[in-house]
C-alpha cells in the first residue's frame, strides 16, 4: 500500500463517536514519504523506492528514532464531552483551541447520555468492570435525562434574565456537556496518545475517540507508519511504551 498523497480525500471526513460526538480531519501535512525524507536529510538523501523507503521507516520506529515522525501533522475538529476532554488535555504535546461557553450558547441536547452504565472495578480504583443490570440502568438514564432538562431550564432562565453566558453555564452538568475543539498534533506524539488511549485499560469515553482517529484517519494517511506502529508498539506493553 502506497502512502496517501497530500491531496487525499481524508480531509473533511467526519466520523461519529459516542451518542453525539464526532471527529473531523481538518488538515494533514505530510505522509510516510515525508517521514523517510526527513530521516535521509541527515546525509542529503532522497527516496530510494518503496521497498527501501518502507524498510527505513520500520527501522526508525523500531529503534525509537522518532524526530522524523514529527514532520507529519494532523489537525482535527472534535466534538466530545468534558469527561473526555478532562483526560485529553493531559497530553500537553497537542495544541488546543476550544469552543467557549462565554460566546456561544449551548443547545438543549448538548449532553452525553451513555449507552450503558458500567460498574466500579473492585480491584482498580480508576476503572470499571461489567455493566449494570438493564432495569437499573434504564432508571438511571431516565434520572440523568431529567437532571439535564432541569439544569438546562435553569440555564435558559438565567439567560432570559440577562445573566452573562459565562455565568449562566454553571447550571449545566459540567462533565456531560459537549464541547467542540480544534486540535493539532504531530505523528510522533499522536502515536504516544494512541498507545495509551487505545489500551483496554483506558476509559471508554476517550478510548472510542482514539480508536476513531486511528482507524479512520491515522491508518489510512500513514499506512507504513501504522503497520510499524502495530508491530513494534501495540504488540508490546503499551502502559510502559516510550515514544
The SS3 call for residue 171 is: helix
Catalytic residue among 118, 165, 197, 207: 197
62 and 155 assigned to the same domain: no
Q: What is the pLDDT of residues 128-145, one digit of tens each?
A: 888 889 999 999 999 999
| Pairing mode of beta strands 128-131, 118-120 | antiparallel
18 and 93 assigned to the same domain: yes
Question: In the prediction, which pLDDT does 127 show?
Answer: 78
The SS3 call for residue 218 is: helix
Q: For the domain that residue 27 is a member of, what is the CATH number? A: 3.30.1360.170
Does any domain span residue 190? yes
What cell numbers appear for 154 in the block?
435553569
Does any domain span residue 133? yes
140 and 30 assigned to the same domain: no
Q: To which residue does cell 494512541 refer? A: 194
Instruction: Tell me the percentage of the chain whose pLDDT exceeds 70.
Output: 92
pTM score above 0.75 = yes
Q: Which residues pair with 49 in a beta bridge?
A: none
20 and 54 assigned to the same domain: yes
Does any domain span residue 104? no
> At residue 110, does pLDDT exceed 50?
yes
Task: Give the count of domains, the chain.
Answer: 2
130 and 82 assigned to the same domain: no
Active site residue 64: no
Q: What is the mean pLDDT of the chain?
A: 90
Amino acid at each position: 500500500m502506497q502512502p496517501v498523497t497530500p491531496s487525499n480525500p481524508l480531509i473533511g471526513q467526519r466520523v461519529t463517536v459516542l451518542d453525539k460526538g464526532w471527529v473531523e480531519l481538518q488538515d494533514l501535512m505530510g505522509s510516510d514519504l515525508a517521514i523517510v525524507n526527513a530521516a535521509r536529510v541527515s546525509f542529503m538523501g532522497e527516496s530510494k523506492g518503496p521497498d527501501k523507503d518502507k524498510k527505513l521507516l520500520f527501522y526508525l520506529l523500531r529503534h525509537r528514532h522518532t524526530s522524523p515522525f514529527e514532520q507529519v501533522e494532523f489537525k482535527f475538529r472534535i466534538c466530545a464531552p468534558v469527561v473526555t476532554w478532562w483526560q485529553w488535555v493531559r497530553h500537553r504535546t497537542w495544541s488546543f483551541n476550544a469552543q467557549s461557553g462565554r460566546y456561544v450558547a449551548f443547545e438543549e441536547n448538548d449532553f452525553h447520555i451513555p449507552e450503558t452504565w458500567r460498574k466500579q472495578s473492585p480491584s482498580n480504583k480508576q476503572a470499571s468492570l461489567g455493566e449494570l443490570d438493564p432495569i437499573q440502568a434504564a432508571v438511571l438514564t431516565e434520572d440523568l435525562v431529567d437532571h439535564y432538562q432541569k439544569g438546562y431550564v435553569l440555564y435558559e432562565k438565567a439567560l432570559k434574565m440577562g445573566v452573562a453566558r459565562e455565568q449562566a453555564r454553571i447550571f449545566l452538568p459540567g462533565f456531560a456537556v459537549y464541547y467542540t475543539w480544534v486540535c493539532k498534533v504531530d505523528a510522533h506524539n499522536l502515536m504516544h496518545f494512541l498507545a495509551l488511549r487505545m489500551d483496554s485499560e483506558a476509559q471508554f469515553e476517550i478510548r472510542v475517540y482514539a480508536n476513531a482517529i486511528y482507524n479512520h484517519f491515522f491508518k489510512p494517511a500513514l499506512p507504513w507508519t501504522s503497520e510499524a506502529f502495530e508491530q513494534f508498539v501495540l504488540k508490546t506493553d503499551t502502559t510502559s511504551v516510550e515514544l
